Structure 1
Amino acid sequence: MHNDTILETRGLTKEFRGFTAVRDVDLRVRRGSIHALIGPNGAGKTTCFNLLTKFLVPTRGQIVFNDVDITRERSSQIARRGVIRSFQISAVFPHMTVLQNVRIGLQRQLGTAFQFWRSERSLAVLDARALELLDEVGLTDYAQLRAVELPYGRKRALEIATTLAMEPELMLLDEPTQGMGHEDVDRVTTLIRKVAVGRTVLMVEHNMNVIAGISDTITVLQRGEILAEGSYAEVSKNPQVIEAYMGSTDATLQGAHA
């Protein structure tokens, strides 16, 4: 593994009964980059993410993070190593405030997870850092709002803030702009670009405009295998990729040259 590679998979394969969802995937994510995983529905993107975050155990293959084989580690172990997936710690406490949600992320990072019986005063120490994180994702004005009351696009910003609270070295974002209107998509895209500075981001995303704007490298999956890889300019001109997306209502490469 090159030391500029933060995450590598070697022959990663996942078989379900009589069906191979991911087949011999060799993925290499460069440290400090934004790497997108795309592909039509059923391409294996989510399965791949689930393998990387230990929601699923691979049938075969290796996962290497920072030169350490993490294939057999549990999700809690890889989280401690700094591999954090956004939805794992999304705004899971809808009736707590935005600030409290981020504070819980900070508590988990400290290893005092879920010690809700601790006094409010001892938690107040975390507030300064929580407010810094809210500022980073543009949620300062929403700090005292209950998470359930947040507008949809801002909920994603809260997820990203709680993810940042866990001090991720590698952030895994699972369809961060799914179900959003243009304005929210633009805001979240800008946010991802901002929080990616000094970090590594691996994201599954349907929206080609988002990917075109921020990805350094794009890996295209089709039927569980890597179809193509490269920059947006390279991938979007690839005849096999264009063909894979044609007839797919899932996403389109047309008009995505923004």
Structure 2
Amino acid sequence: MKPDIVLLASGLTKQFGGFTAVGGVDLQVRRGSIHALIGPNGAGKTTCFNLLTKFLIPTSGTILFNGKDITRDNASEIARKGLVRSFQISAVFPKLTVQNNVRIALQRKGGDSFDFWRSSSVLRKLDGQVEQLLEAVGLSSFRHILAGELSYGRKRALEIATTLALDPEMMLLDEPMAGMGREDVERIASLIRRVSAGRTILMVEHNLSVVSSLCDRITVLARGKVLAEGDYATVSGNPLVVEAYIGTGGSHGH
């Protein structure tokens, strides 16, 4: 495995009964890139993502992370190795402040959620890290707001902060822009670009235009197979991709 490939899937297949949701997908994610897995509804993106993040075990195929076979590992084992998934559920505690949500995530990273007995110097260090993360995602001025009261886009930013608190080498984002208006999409896109420094990001997205300026590489799935791969110009100009999107009532021409 080339050292610049951080995640490598070979022949990834998942069958449910007689139905093949994902059939023989090969995927290489380059270290330090923002890579999108996209496709029209029913393309198998979510199943593929669930295989890569260990929410499902493949029927066949292998997954390597940093050259190590993680095909049979569970989600918490791969998180400890530095592969962390965000957005599977709204990962925030609505009744806690923004600041405390980030603090809890940092304590989880430390492996100890009972911080009552820690020295004040440890807690001050934690405060500094909380502040840095809030700064990174543009939520400093919202630190005392209850997470449940944030707008949809800012909740997403907080989820990114709690994922960053685990300091993952690779972040897997599940449709981070779903259900957002244009302003929020732009905010989250620039946030993903900012937090991608020094790490690898794989994101699942439905909309091709959302990833156009954000992603270095795009893998397009259709009917559980890789239809095309390359940069935005390459995949958006591919007649098979246009056909797959238009043929399913997806994002017309985008």
Q: TM-score, normalised by structure 2?
A: 0.95
Deviation of the 1:246 alpha carbon: 0.8
What are the Cα deviations for residues 88-109 of structure 1, in whole angstroms up to 9, with x where unaligned? 5744311011011111111111
Q: Which residue of 2 aligns with 1:37?
A: 37
**Stretch moving more, 103-112 or 133-142:** 103-112
Q: Which residue of 2 aligns with 1:228?
A: 228
Deviation of the 1:117 alpha carbon: 5.7
Kept in 2: contact 1:90–1:162 (CA 8 A): no
Letter in 2 for 1:183: E
Query: 1 CA distance for matches of 2:155 and 2:2?
Result: 36
SS in 1 for 2:173: strand
What are the Cα deviations for residues 131-181 of structure 1, in whole angstroms up to 9, with x where unaligned? 100100100000111100111110110000001001111110111111111
Residues 145 and 124 (structure 1 numbering): CA distance in 2 closer, same or farther, change over 3 Å? farther
Q: Which residue of 2 aligns with 1:115?
A: 114
Q: Which residue of 2 aligns with 1:248?
A: 248
What are the Cα deviations for residues 192-246 of structure 1, in whole angstroms up to 9, with x where unaligned? 1111111100001123222101111100001110010001000011111111011
Kept in 1: contact 2:88–2:174 (CA 8 A): no
Kept in 2: contact 1:89–1:162 (CA 8 A): no
SS in 1 for 2:212: helix
Kept in 2: contact 1:9–1:63 (CA 8 A): yes
Q: Which residue of 2 aligns with 1:7?
A: 7
Q: Which residue of 2 aligns with 1:203?
A: 203
SS in 2 for 1:134: helix
Query: 1 CA distance for matches of 2:91 and 2:21?
Result: 29
SS in 1 for 2:14: strand
1:99-138 paired onto structure 2 within 5 Å: 99-112=99-112, 114-115=113-114, 123-138=123-138
Query: 1 CA distance for matches of 2:200 and 2:52?
Result: 14
What's the RMSD between the two structures over aligned residues? 1.6
SS in 2 for 1:104: helix
Letter in 2 for 1:115: F
Q: Which residue of 2 aligns with 1:21?
A: 21
Kept in 2: contact 1:99–1:127 (CA 8 A): no
Query: 2 CA distance for matches of 1:95 and 1:173?
Result: 24
**Gap runs ≥5 in structure 2:** none
Residues 200 and 155 (structure 1 numbering): CA distance in 2 closer, same or farther, change over 3 Å? same
SS in 2 for 1:10: strand
1:67-146 paired onto structure 2 within 5 Å: 67-88=67-88, 90-112=90-112, 114-115=113-114, 123-146=123-146
| Identity of matched residues, % | 61
Letter in 2 for 1:106: L
Deviation of the 1:123 alpha carbon: 4.4
Kept in 2: contact 1:174–1:205 (CA 8 A): yes
Query: 1 CA distance for matches of 2:114 and 2:216?
Result: 40
Kept in 1: contact 2:41–2:206 (CA 8 A): no
* Count, aligned residues: 253
Q: Which residue of 2 aligns with 1:239?
A: 239
**Gap runs ≥5 in structure 1:** none
